[in-house]
Amino acid sequence: MSQRSSQLEQRGRGTRRAAIWCLAIALVVQSARAGSPWRRGSNNGPLLTHHLSKRSFADIQCKGVYNKQIFARLDRICEDCYNLFREPHILSLCMSNCFTTSYFNGCVESLLKLDEMPTFRKMIEYLAK
């Protein structure tokens, strides 16, 4: 019996060790994802709701009327651009000065959305006034 209990004890340790490793890996992955400012809220991905707030609206020098839907649509262009190029600063450069930089224009072009540019310009004007 002692040999059998020893085997069970070793198996239990191995199982616990594997569970700890799985949890550690899951924690690292989740931390990396949570730390990424490029994640979105409920319907577009698991995380990120913070950068669509009214505070971040002001942080990027938007002085017009805060409209969450318009802000989210323009923000999505910048996020898609980041996902396309995976450059660390592309999101902030695209959004800076209330989406009025050449980076935003370049992102629209890169995402093949030039036909929507007049609509985007009206949205930007609404937010930036």
pTM of the model: 0.58
Domain parsing of the chain, residue ranges? 1-35, 40-128
For domain 40-128, say whether CATH 3.30.56.10 is its number. Answer: no
pLDDT in tens, 31-47: 455 444 444 443 443 33
Whether 110 shows a pLDDT value over 90: the answer reads yes
Query: Nearest to residue 94, comparing CAs of 110, 114, 115?
Result: 110
Map tokens 């996020």 to a residue. 79
pLDDT in tens, 1-31: 566 666 656 666 667 776 566 555 655 555 4
